[in-house]
Amino acid sequence: MDSESRATLVVELASEQSGLVTSRQARAAASVTPQQIKRMADSGMLQRLHHGIYRLAHVPDDKHLDKRLAWVALDPEQVIWDRLDQDVPTGVLSHRSAAEMYRLGDLDADVVELTATRRIRLSLPNVTVHRGHLSRDDWQIVDGLPVTNPVRTIGDLAATSTDAGHLATVVRDALTRDLATTEEVVSVLAPHAFDYGHRPLDGQVFLDALIEQAGVPATTLAVADIARKIAGATPSRELVSSQQSIAAFAPMAAALAPQMERLNAEVARAITPLLKAQVTRTITPALEAEVARAITPALEAIRHVATQLNSPELEAARAAAAQIPSELETMRRAAAQISPQLENMQRAAATQLNSPELEAARAAAAQISPELEAIRHVAAQISPQLEAIRHVAAQLNSPAFQAMQNAAAQLNSPPHEAARNAAARANETKR
């Protein structure tokens, strides 16, 4: 199989998986090596999303791309359709990510959350993989992705201590949009009632508190629940009998239909002006007041900004900013004038450094260096003798040597000289 055929198989595989393909899937389906798939990415055919996971280039934007990428990363070996045929496809989207997929509540879903039956660690950023039990009844496919059903999602959010305010909005949307029954919600909330400050296992009280917090009338939930039960119920004997009775009255209803239409038209003509007047009297002032409350802070902020824009300080700043370009232009011209002078100085310095006189000075210095080294050697040898001379000179200047000099001077004085002469004559006489 040539490279072009392999590339075609990889593109077809990615097209069947919402534009995603892994290097392992490409190797299994078309014997494509990691080097070959890297070349496809370098050529612009594929876009690398994560290590070993690629996406077809130039495909439409996918609002669930981060969730799809995380789910594919759980098991990069198997293709998507094989995983979706499993009872538990190596993890499913859950918790806040599942609520976002169903558009339940107003939770922040900036982290992709999945649930798997075994511990799995992903190196993807902003991805959390919970570990928990899963069965085929716990999930369903939404936009090509396995997602925990609304009832399981409510239970998971309660188990992870989602704040009651956000949990209430999820429960409200699930019940009013016919995605769960009150009995199902009570069942999954019961194990967590005590954690939210209610009696242990009292899911009904927990649900009532959430409904009250979400501001949903009880009648709305009751009507939705009755309609759901009727839609899903098997026709009973009484219901069949009622349907037969209704069928017997069908001809009479057909005869009365024109009169009912005229009556409805007359009622509409009579009531419409009254309704418009009532709406004008009650709703219009409330809307005006609400609009005023919403717009007034924004208008105040705009006025404040406008005041600042017209302030003397801002005007002075504008004037200073207007002067900056001219000053910059003056600096550029000065720099342009200085540049030739700097060039001349650099050339003159280079010429002097290469002049014959400087070269002769370097040669003379090189010749003097051995003589200087010899002088340093002689100086090092006579240093001890100079130190001894300094020591003798210090002793000659000491007080003791000075006293000896004074005594010698006294011995050479006239009285001492006369005494020595008398002693010499006396010795002569004795002999």
Average per-residue pLDDT in the chain?
A: 79
For 267-312, the pLDDT digits (tens) are 566 666 665 666 566 666 666 666 566 666 656 665 665 566 566 7
Do the beta carbons of residue 175 and residue 189 sit within 8 Å?
no
**94 and 195 inside one domain:** yes
DSSP letter (8 states) at residue 431: -
Q: Clarify whether residues 98 and 228 are in a common domain.
A: yes
> In the chain, what are the helix, strand and coil shares in percent, each to the nearest 5?
70, 5, 20
Q: Which two tokens stand for residue 328?
A: 């910059």
User: What's the pLDDT score for residue 237?
Assistant: 38
Both tokens assigned to 360: 């002769």
234 plus 244 within the same structural domain: no
Going by pLDDT thresholds of 50, 70 and 90, the confidence category of residue 376 is confident
Q: What is the pLDDT of residues 384-422, one digit of tens each?
A: 777 776 776 666 666 755 666 665 566 566 766 676 677
What is the structure's pLDDT at 235?
A: 41
> Is residue 370 a part of any domain in this protein?
no
- pLDDT tens digits for range 158-204: 999 999 999 999 999 999 999 999 999 999 999 999 999 999 999 99
Q: Please indicate, yes or no, whether residues 87 and 232 belong to a single structural domain of this protein.
A: yes
Please tell me whether residues 298 and 246 are part of one structural domain: yes
Q: Return the SS3 of 293.
A: helix
Residues 87 and 230 in one domain: yes
Residue 211: predicted pLDDT: 94
Residue 391 lies in a domain: no
pTM: 0.53
Q: Does 201 reside within a domain?
A: yes
3-state secondary structure labels for all residues of 139-173: EEEECCEEEECHHHHHHHHHHCCCCHHHHHHHHHH
Q: CA dihedral in degrees (380, 384, 385, 391; nearest 10)?
A: 140
Residue-level pLDDT at 370: 74
Question: Do 55 and 44 share a structural domain?
Answer: yes
Three-point CA angle 70, 72, 73, nearest 5°: 65
Q: Are both 95 and 159 inside the same structural domain? A: yes
| 283, 309, 335 - which closes a domain | 309
The pair of structure tokens assigned to 367 is 């010749």
Does the pLDDT of residue 360 top 50, yes or no? yes
Tokens found for residue 5: 């055929």
Domain final residue pick, 263, 294, 309:
309
Residue 200: inside a domain: yes
Say if residue 249's pLDDT is above 50.
Answer: no
Contacts 24+ apart (CB under 8 A), 84-89: 84/141, 84/146, 87/135, 87/136, 88/117, 88/134, 88/135, 88/136, 89/146
234 located within any domain: yes
Closest CA to 104 of 146, 147, 73, 68: 147
Question: Is residue 324, in this structure, part of any structural domain at all?
Answer: no
- The better pLDDT of the pair 252, 396 is held by 396
Q: Check whether residue 79 and residue 163 sit in a common domain.
A: yes
Query: How large is the average pLDDT for residues 126-155?
Result: 97
Q: How far apart are CA 341 and CA 339, in angstroms?
A: 5
Residue 424 counted as domain residue: yes
CA distance 39 to 52: 13
C-alpha distance from residue 219 to each of 169, 187, 271, 314 (Å): 17, 21, 26, 60
Question: How many folded domains does the chain comprise?
Answer: 4
- Whether 32 and 89 share a structural domain: no
d(CA 42, CA 22): 16
- Is the pLDDT at 327 greater than 80? The verdict is no
The pLDDT assigned to 288 comes to 65
Q: Quick: pLDDT tens for 47-82.
A: 999 999 999 998 899 999 999 999 999 999 999 999
What distances in angstroms separate CA 430 from CA 198, 417, 425, 427, one per listed residue? 148, 21, 9, 5
CB 113 within 8 A of CB 130: yes
Do 126 and 155 lie in one domain? The reply is yes
**338 Rama sector, left if φ>0, alpha if ψ -120 to 50, beta otherwise:** alpha
> Look-up: residue for tokens 């040669």?
363
Please tell me whether residues 208 and 130 are part of one structural domain.
yes
Among 130-144, 190-204, 316-330, which is the least confidently predicted range?
A: 316-330
CATH number at residue 54: 1.10.10
Residue at 37 is within a domain: yes
The stretches of 148-249 forming alpha helices (DSSP H) are 150-159, 164-176, 182-189, 203-214, 218-232, 237-248
| Max CA distance (Å), the chain | 198
Q: In the predicted model, is pLDDT for residue 219 greater than 60? A: no
Residue where a domain stops, chosen among 282, 309, 336: 309
pLDDT > 90: percent of the chain:
44
Return the pLDDT at 245. 43
- Note down the domain range covering 152: 63-239
* Residue 271: predicted pLDDT: 60
Crossing angle (nearest 10°) for helices 3-15 and 34-42: 80
